[in-house]
Amino acid sequence: MRWIALQACILTESAVNDAAAQQALARIALGFTPRVALEGEAVLMEVAGSLRLFGGLTRLAQLLEQLAMQFFASNQAVVQIIRSQGATSLIALGRLRQLRRQPGAVCKRVADLPMHALTAARPHLGVLERVGCRNWDDLLRLPRDGVARRFGAPLLEALDRARGHAPDSYEWLLLPGHFDEKLELDALVIHAPLLMAGVLLLLLGLQAWLIGRQSGICALKLVWHLDKRRDVPPTGELVIRTAQPAQDLRHLARLIAEHLAQQRLPAPVHSLTLQSLQTEKLVDSAAATASLLMQARRQGDSALELIERLSARLGQAQVQAWQPQADHRPEQMQRWVDAHDAIKSIAEKSRNYWTCGFNNVKNEDLYPSWLLPEPLRLAVNGDSPVYQGRLVRLAGPQRLEATGWLMAGDKTGDASGTRCKPPAIRDYFIYRSLQAGLLWIYSERLPVNTPQALHGQTRAWYLHGFFA
């Protein structure tokens, strides 16, 4: 068996205290092995079953420490991670305690570990010092019967466990299937933005829980409990949803802050509860990138985060995004909807791009960057259109035909189910203008009874868009 002992030491004043740091470190450790226990000031891990998966003991310890440091850095906490290892849990714990007192001092021989590193010996340190027992080897040289009578059986049992002569027995830490934690505030809060101090502490535990479960959060609920002495509902709540699973919760903290800035509390708040509503395993969504690390998965997510923040600050109706419609006419191929409602499809498209690659996206037709609100009728010189001078044809024609039937969900028709506008039969071309650049122009056949047709002009030309 191989054991690792860890301790997170807070070096500067921050919202993260030692107890919260220890709990967070234990939850992070559960992402590497299911056998994690809290023992005093340390986190103990039995990693024999995980060594092959992570490439050996050294590599596993490096990954664990790197992930823990990234976690605390993201929560603005300056932390020193002290780590030691050993063949038994008490050896790893003893070396950790020695490093805590004497940085850089590591006893390769277990027998040289000091007595204060053994928990069972701490009540007897004064007596042991007077009889000359300064390390584990000194105690092992004494008669076992005499040690048992003088110091009690627990000290001998601890020595047996440390040497591997007796099995270790710990209550392994288990992560719940759903995150649900409550925090009592230090004082009553009457302004909603001031709740963020407590929210950040809850998010600290949530992030460590997500890392331990190798998951990302998609939806969570924040509940604030109001003073019962007021004639108001006992609680208020806020539900936050994200387009993609998040494990770095700085974006979620900003979203919650935006929503709380718009809340008015009807009564003072005495406690907060944070609950996970929907999570997603990272291995299930790892196709978004070749890496399983959330840092690598964040490519392309900044635009989605901006949309979510603007929707929270300005209101969902104030931030819009376009969605495609089942219509071949360019001016009716899209519609504008609330960006918050369309954000899921935007996220799925970004995943498909990173999964399949941009070269696999089918886009046989060339469409301009900008469309005119209404097509502009162009003058004609012979059979060619004219716009700010002579035009040179580069590509086309591309035939576009749109029927006169009303599409599902389209309200631009009459009661009979037909469109108010007639069917469109257009031939699109790309022209170059020396003054205006690349133009998207289409032509339509004129009806025979129009004045232009009577004068020999068979087609009408329209400017519809510009290429960037």
- pLDDT tens for residues 19-37? 888 888 998 898 889 899 9
- Quote the CA–CA distance of 102 and 273 in Å, as a whole number: 41
Q: How far is CA 121 from CA 44, 125, 134, 188, in A?
A: 19, 6, 11, 44
Q: Does 139 lie in the same domain as 21? A: yes
Q: What is the pLDDT, as a whole number, of residue 35?
A: 92
Residue 446: which domain range?
A: 370-466
- pLDDT tens for residues 78-121? 888 888 888 888 888 888 888 888 776 666 677 778 888 888 88
Q: Does 306 lie in the same domain as 194? A: yes
Does residue 331 form part of some domain?
A: no
Q: What is the pLDDT, as a whole number, of residue 273?
A: 94
Q: Does 158 lie in the same domain as 72? A: yes
Q: Does 57 lie in the same domain as 145? A: yes
Across the chain, mean pLDDT equals 78
Both tokens of residue 428? Answer: 């699109």
Q: What is the pLDDT, as a whole number, of residue 284?
A: 44
Q: Does 199 lie in the same domain as 144? A: no
Does residue 365 form part of some domain?
A: no
CATH number of the domain where residue 233 is located: 3.30.1490.100
Q: What is the pLDDT, as a whole number, of residue 129?
A: 82
Q: Which of 115, 130, 162 corresponds to the end of one domain?
A: 162
Q: Which of 107, 129, 162 corresponds to the end of one domain?
A: 162
Q: Does 81 lie in the same domain as 144? A: yes
Q: Distance between terminal CA atoms of the chain? A: 64
Q: Does 43 lie in the same domain as 14? A: yes
CB 312 within 8 A of CB 220: no
Q: Does 12 lie in the same domain as 146? A: yes
Q: Does 109 lie in the same domain as 15? A: yes
Q: Does 196 lie in the same domain as 89? A: no
Amino acid in the structure at residue 162: A
Number of domains within the chain: 3
Q: Does 99 lie in the same domain as 127? A: yes
Q: Which of 281, 298, 316 corresponds to the end of one domain?
A: 316
Q: What is the pLDDT, as a whole number, of residue 295?
A: 47
Does residue 336 form part of some domain?
A: no
**What percent of the chain has a predicted confidence (pLDDT) above 70?**
80
Low-confidence ranges of the chain (pLDDT < 50): 284-298, 300-301, 352-364, 405-409, 412-419
Q: Does 190 lie in the same domain as 157? A: no
- Nearest residue to 278 (alpha-carbon basis) of 245, 237, 311: 245
